[in-house]
Chain A
């Protein structure tokens, strides 16, 4: 195998698979990536056996072949090289790979390419097509809620639901929930309902975000095909195949409160800054901040028995009853960090019931936070 490739192009490809290259060395081959020549370029493929990512990159092929090398080291090398053309060549027995760029040369060990796990099978026809910007927004606005507690494994991912033109995404860890519903523009006949594992959605988001700098892709789309246990996400020359979480996502609709009638309208920017300050002195473990509302005023109070206390007042629009509710400050900040609207509505019922946070102008994005006992 021998080819020449622009450093920038090579680096881009290597970066996209870093997240799934194994560093613990459980199975040595999984620390490697597979490079394979194509007629007009190379494919870079990596897998951790749950997720597989493959991308195609332009290169001048001198002789065809394939090789597996340590993914982390190759990335480090290419990152440090000058921005010039890189020349890669493996020896006859495929034991070594030589990398040259200007006056630098590296020789790194290979493992037999046949030993690398096969790329997971996926079907070609798409089941769903989503605008990239839309999918990115949906992932960013829900993924912070994903549970890390492995005992409820169906919560270790985001739910993607699609029926007709409606598409929605939900993440929850049992204490809070984020749910976004959008209209997709691409009509879709069959219902899709999948749970994308936490790690796969993070890698997917990375791929989509890396695309930002590629070109001004306003309306670019991603194709998704779904099989029983797998889903494949295809965009341009990239494909990500992931194992899906097998199981039923809990019925999230039943926990979305309908009768939270005490609506507090708050400037989201002001709210976030105030909350960040008050949260500094919240109890380290519970992260609780008390949110008190009265006519046109919200008071945030934290107290940490060892360190001290903090208090801040915010002008809000509010006409309802006086309520004080204890919430995990991080849960609320996570929402304010991504909600991206000028004003939000903080909808309360009472101190023991869930709190609903939405933008002021629509209810397509709904976040629910359960209170803490004060």
Chain B
């Protein structure tokens, strides 16, 4: 059966919430992120700011250079989570098959829905309307027969719009789709593709699965289906957590062991807090790992299994990581990889909340 998937993507979510709550921010370039003087990073930017090239993941200092009038607001995660809850509640009015990707994005499988006589297009507009009624925020939606196309489509009429790719339009649509639109095709892969004349999915279609694999490794298998608009990944309602970690970029590089060691209690405390909040039990831990990023932005990780969760063990791992390079340290992170359900036994069996 042909599926009906909706991808909902909130329009610059964090920034939109800040603008909603402070009218003085309207029509001004705004970003949510850390302080430029302390190596903060941008997590979201509104459309005014994006005109200057400000986007998420760039450093706040660089954003300020690109757009000197940029207003940078500190993130208020509690507020964003609260809004995200309201949005998810709207999704669940229509289907239980909701796969959240982040606070502001989700896939919905509305195949066989009874709402609006099963029209995914009407469901999507109703969802966007309800989101606006409940939060005052706008969302964009993509409606398509699979997750990949739905995600591409939600970007098509952004902001505050929606786009449908019906099954009969898939072939035409995909042929002209630039390769950069494929998740997993970043700058490097796109350049590599451009060199051999591959600019659109239509170009990719001309290659055999073997050719694709010889150029792009195992990713070729995925590309073969994707460039034909095929993607049979199901909408997964609960993703199994595979790891959990925290990290901190320091405002000044740490110069030696002592300085690193001073930071450990703070990091460990943050790790434990997160660990507890996610309701993970110690016996679910498979390995512990640490991440050390040096002043040249290169990072290293040290990982070990079968050790007890405590600060001493994390320090032993950190010590090992730190001594690998003789450089000042920019970032330290602590993490744990978790046992997957398969390893735990039965994935279908639910547990008592003991």
Give Cα A172 to B283, complex, Å.
17
Give Cα A368 to B353, complex, Å.
12
Contact of A368 among B283, B346, B348, B352 (CB under 8 A): B352
Give Cα A174 to B354, complex, Å.
7
Cβ-defined contact, A174 with B352, below 8 A: yes
* Interface: A372 (CB within 8 A): yes
Given contacts A151-B283, A152-B283, are A352 and B352 in contact (CB under 8 A)?
no
Residues of A near B349 (CB, < 8 A) are 175, 286, 328, 370, 372
Q: Which residues of chain A from 311 to 355 have any CB-CB distance to chain B below 8 Å in the complex?
A: 326, 328, 352, 354
Cβ-defined contact, B283 with A175, below 8 A: no
Give Cα A218 to B349, complex, Å.
42
Residues of B near A372 (CB, < 8 A) are 346, 348-350
Interface string of A347-374 (1 = CB under 8 A from B): 0000010100000000000001011110
* Number of residues from B at the complex interface, CB < 8 A: 9
* Interface: A255 (CB within 8 A): yes
Cβ-defined contact, B283 with A354, below 8 A: no
Give Cα A252 to B354, complex, Å.
7
* Interface: B102 (CB within 8 A): no
* Number of residues from A at the complex interface, CB < 8 A: 25
Contact of A288 among B348, B352, B353, B354 (CB under 8 A): B348
Give Cα A172 to B353, complex, Å.
11
* Interface: B37 (CB within 8 A): no
Residue of B283, B350, B352 most packed against chain A (CB within 10 A): B352
Cβ-defined contact, B354 with A371, below 8 A: no
Given contacts A151-B283, A152-B283, are A370 and B352 in contact (CB under 8 A)?
yes
Q: Which residues of chain B from 337 to 354 have any CB-CB distance to chain A below 8 Å in the complex?
A: 346, 348-354
Give Cα A77 to B202, complex, Å.
83
Give Cα A250 to B351, complex, Å.
13
Residues of B near A354 (CB, < 8 A) are 352
* Interface: A285 (CB within 8 A): yes
Residues of A near B283 (CB, < 8 A) are 151-152
Cβ-defined contact, A255 with B350, below 8 A: no
Cβ-defined contact, A326 with B354, below 8 A: no
Give Cα A165 to B346, complex, Å.
40
Interface string of A126-163 (1 = CB under 8 A from B): 00000000000000000000000001100100000000
Cβ-defined contact, B354 with A370, below 8 A: no
Cβ-defined contact, A326 with B351, below 8 A: no
* Interface: A177 (CB within 8 A): yes
Given contacts A151-B283, A152-B283, are A285 and B346 in contact (CB under 8 A)?
yes
* Interface: A251 (CB within 8 A): yes
Residues of B near A326 (CB, < 8 A) are 348
Q: Name the residue of chain B whose CB is nearest to the CB of A328.
A: B349
Cβ-defined contact, B350 with A371, below 8 A: yes
Residues of B near A176 (CB, < 8 A) are 352
Closest CB-CB distance, B67 to chain A, in whole Å? Answer: 49
Given contacts A151-B283, A152-B283, are A255 and B354 in contact (CB under 8 A)?
yes
Contact of B352 among A151, A177, A286, A328 (CB under 8 A): A177
Q: Which residues of chain A from 222 to 276 have any CB-CB distance to chain B below 8 Å in the complex?
A: 250-252, 254-255
Closest CB-CB distance, A301 to chain B, in whole Å? Answer: 15
Residue of B283, B349, B350 most packed against chain A (CB within 10 A): B349
Residues of B near A254 (CB, < 8 A) are 353-354
Closest CB-CB distance, B344 to chain A, in whole Å? Answer: 9
Q: Name the residue of chain A whose CB is nearest to the CB of B348.
A: A372
Cβ-defined contact, B348 with A255, below 8 A: no
Q: Name the residue of chain B whose CB is nearest to the CB of A250.
A: B354
Q: Name the residue of chain A whose CB is nearest to the CB of B238.
A: A373
Chain A residues close to B by CB (< 8 Å): 151-152, 155, 172, 174-177, 250-252, 254-255, 285-286, 288, 326, 328, 352, 354, 368, 370-373
The 3 residue pairs across chains A and B that have the minimum distance between CB atoms: A151-B283, A250-B354, A372-B348
Chain B residues close to A by CB (< 8 Å): 283, 346, 348-354
Known A155-B354, A172-B352, A370-B351; further 11 A-B contacts with Cβ < 8 A: A174-B351, A175-B349, A175-B351, A255-B354, A286-B346, A286-B348, A328-B349, A372-B346, A372-B348, A372-B349, A373-B348
Pick 22 A–B contacts, CB within 8 A, sort by A: A152-B283, A174-B351, A174-B354, A175-B349, A175-B350, A175-B351, A175-B352, A177-B354, A251-B354, A252-B354, A254-B353, A286-B348, A286-B349, A328-B349, A352-B350, A370-B351, A371-B350, A372-B346, A372-B348, A372-B349, A373-B348, A373-B350
